[in-house]
Amino acid sequence: MDINSKLIDKGIVLPDAPPPAANYIPFVRVDKLVFISGQVSQNEEGFIKGVLGEDLNVEQGYNAARYCAISLLAQLKNALNGDLNRMTKVVKLGGFVNSALGFSEQPSVINGASDLLVELFGEKGRHARTAVGANLPLGVAVEIDGIFEVNS
């Protein structure tokens, strides 16, 4: 099935690809790989902020990570001149969770992004991954970067 149809079926509207917030570019393409800079948790209302294990629970963090994956897809669509169907494999995600001291459920939070990518792409969406605690910019709950393999 066409990825655009799957997005519509799931009620997901990709936002415009967010511009960089500092001195970097949103993606770099090297041969068949697209490296996408970290995408912070935000939705149509703005940044999703908070500290997991303090202000936010795992379910709220999971949803924040899901929004990061949606932003990754928006950047990927931009990198592929609008054609997400050219994505052949989600290679790796790097997940960073704004965590309180003692919070250890970062993998459960980052599952929000991983689960969405597998829902949308099936086996092509399965990937290697990192999920760590961090102090994140702007007080956001989650930040995720990604590496994707694409057709020429």
| CATH superfamily, region 25-150 | RutC-like (3.30.1330.40)
Closest CA to 142 of 101, 92, 108, 102: 108
- Predicted local distance difference test score (pLDDT) of residue 76: 98
Q: pLDDT for 18-74, tens place per residue?
A: 888 899 999 999 999 999 999 999 999 999 999 999 999 999 999 999 999 999 999
For residue 152, pLDDT over 80 is answered with no
Mean pLDDT for 117-132 is: 98
Closest CA to 38 of 86, 96, 105, 87: 96
Instruction: Report DSSP state, residue 22.
Output: S
The answer to whether the predicted template modeling score (pTM) of the entire model surpasses 0.85 is yes
For the chain, how far is it from start to end, CA to CA, in angstroms? 20
> Half-sphere exposure of 129 toward its Cβ, with a 13 Å CA cutoff?
22
Q: pLDDT for 84-115, tens place per residue?
A: 999 999 999 999 999 999 999 999 999 999 99
List the beta strands (DSSP E) in 44-141: 46-47, 87-98, 128-134
Q: What are phi and psi of 23, to 5 degrees?
A: -85, 75
For residue 1, pLDDT over 80 is answered with no
- Predicted local distance difference test score (pLDDT) of residue 21: 84
- Predicted local distance difference test score (pLDDT) of residue 137: 94
